[in-house]
Amino acid sequence: MKLPEKKINPEIVSNTEWLVARKDLLTREKQFNVQRDALSAARRKLPWVKIDKEYVFDGPKGKETLADLFDGRRQLIVYHFMLGPGWEEGCKSCSYLADHFDGANWHLPHRDVTLVVVSRAPLAEIEPFQKRMGWRFKWLSSNGSDFNFDYHVSATEDDKAKEKMFYNYETGELMSDEMPGLSVFYKDEGGQIFYTYSTYARGLDLLVGAYNFLDLVPKGRDENPESTMDWVRRHDRYDAEQVSAKPS
């Protein structure tokens, strides 16, 4: 499939005029950075919820509790990957996002952070897809536990019957049995675990490094506004025609 050509009509100016425009944008970029820092600070000040419920996951090393997932660190990030029981492969949008995890995992442990991925599919269905994609991050199954339901990324039988689901902090139309999200936990010196944050839908954009690159170029993300990620493929499924230029 050949990518449609996006028409852009830039204003052509002198170097001097360009510098004036660029410095004006730089002022706005700096203001945005200040606002983003303030929002991140507010996120860190959210109140916490103590977790008393026991969750058990199936992982590469066998059964593990939520406490085990911290792997000796205080902070835990769980990405809720859309891969339900019986699915032939993981969600393509989650796969696009997950392509960024292994690079981050070189660095996160050095800031007292463990990042893992959790799906509701059985481990036997997760592992072949992970191997196919070449990912190294730790991926566990929550199958048989309430974890996905409690963090509102999997539809319950009642949700399916009503065709409604509580997702992204509101009840709306059921779009899929599985939905994407990210949740954060903290474990204190006494071993108590606290839930600190979750984000869903567009809140996950921040994790997509490829989008940050696309936002820098003249054509931007160049997406269909009615179906923003319809161009995305699992990285082993792009056709040669979909890549306008290959690295040398």
Contacts of 38 (CB under 8 A, 6+ apart): none
Q: Is the pLDDT of residue 248 over 50?
A: no
In a domain, 144, yes or no: yes
- pLDDT, averaged across the chain: 93
Domain of residue 143: give its range. 48-206
What is the rounded distance in angstroms from the CA atom of residue 228 to the CA atom of residue 211? 12
242 domain residue, yes or no: no
In a domain, 68, yes or no: yes
Which residues are 119's β-sheet partners?
Answer: 141
pLDDT at 1: 45
Query: pLDDT, tens digit, for every residue of 54-113?
Result: 999 999 999 999 999 999 999 999 999 999 999 999 999 999 999 999 999 999 999 999
Note whether residue 59 is domain-resident.
Answer: yes
| One-letter amino acid for residue 158 of the chain | D
Look up the CATH number of the domain holding residue 177.
Answer: 3.40.30.10
pTM of the complete model: 0.91
Nearest to 60 by CA among 150, 124, 152, 132: 124
| Structure-token match 């499924």, residue found | 237
Q: Within a domain: residue 53?
A: yes
The answer as to whether 13 is a domain residue is: no
User: Residue 33 falls within a domain, yes or no?
Assistant: no
Domain count, the chain: 1
Q: Which two tokens stand for residue 183?
A: 């949740």
Backbone region of residue 152 per phi and psi (left: phi > 0; alpha: psi in -120 to 50; beta: other values): left
Decide if 34 is inside a domain.
no
